[in-house]
Amino acid sequence: MNYKYILFEIKAGIASIILNRTERLNALTVPMVEEILSALDQCRDDSSVRVVVISGAGRAFCAGADVEVDKDKDPSEITGEIIRVLNKTVLKIRTIEKPVIASTRGFTSGAAVSIVLACDLAISSENCKFNLAFIKIGLTPDAGASYFLPQLIGLKKTSMLFFTGDMISAKQAENFGFVNKLVPDEKLEEETNELASRMAAGPTLAIGRTKKLMNDSYNNSLEQHLESEFETQMLSSRTQDKIEGIQAFMEKRPPKFQGK
């Protein structure tokens, strides 16, 4: 499928979704987010895809929603349209049973931060700046930011970020825990590919089931969750990857998982 606003490639088990509106710092429009959704659906359905990487072309990851894309519409109407499709995107990232990695550089603002928070892992260049300044233009958080951040860093730290709208450095983001690793800007693609390759070489079904267990943990009682873990463990124990993992352990060699 040909895309206009993103670049999409599948290579060696790694699906790359690259936001590509560089003239607008990759700011999000409805057609652009619909393309991201379509690419994620393809990643979900393609068994050759073992890991998904979301990044931005040019000097920024994403400047958030682009409310200036249509001068004939009220900005609030445009915002509402984008948020509706963004919500579907965030849900897709969380429910696809494959690891999703955010790779960020430069400016990452608004709903783009929500996308990073929704991803399973995040790697960032040291020059990246994260902007959650909804409050500075009289808005409230969107696309899951107020869901993910309190769970990740607690109410007090989240309140400070949302109520002040202060810019967050890459180092602060790492300290808060929504970036896993910082790297020099010139090393971002290399380090991202190394992490993605490691995930692509892993037991994809087990990783996806582990992701679902973590998602479900927010709503399950302990009793429910223990039962879910049991059922998932039984399913995983019948996979080819489990057999290979045990065999590799016995033979004292690295396992060669196939994601099956």
The answer to whether residues 126 and 229 belong to one domain is: no
Assess if residue 259 is contained within a domain. no
pLDDT given for residue 91 in this prediction: 96
**Predicted local distance difference test score (pLDDT) of residue 32:** 95
Q: What is the model's pTM? A: 0.91
pLDDT at 20: 96
Task: State which of 200, 218, 242 marks the end of a domain.
Answer: 200
Q: What angle do CA 43, 47, 114 make, to 5 degrees?
A: 25
CA–CA distance, 83 with 258 (Å, rounded to integer):
37
The predicted pLDDT at position 65 comes to 84
Task: List, edge to edge, every strand of the sheet that includes 121-125.
Answer: 6-11, 14-19, 51-56, 100-104, 121-125, 181-183
Return the CATH number at 132. Answer: 3.90.226.10
The pLDDT value recorded for residue 243 is 87
Q: What is the pLDDT of residue 58?
A: 93
What does the pLDDT read at residue 223?
94
Q: Looking at the structure, do residues 75 and 126 belong to the same domain, yes or no?
A: yes
Whether 76 and 40 map to the same domain: the answer is: yes
What confidence score (pLDDT) does residue 256 get? 87
CA distance 255 to 221: 34
Q: What is the pLDDT of residue 260?
A: 84
Task: Confirm whether 257 is domain-assigned.
Answer: no
Counting as low any pLDDT under 70, the low residues of the chain are 69-72, 75
- Does 255 fall in a domain? no
Q: What's the pLDDT score for residue 69?
A: 63
Length of the chain (residues): 260
Q: Is residue 240 part of a domain?
A: yes
Residue found by looking up tokens 């969380």 in the block? 94
| Structural domain total, the chain | 2
Residues 18 and 40 grouped into a single domain:
yes
Which of 185, 200, 215 is a domain's end point? 200
244: domain range? 204-250
Note the pLDDT of residue 75. 67
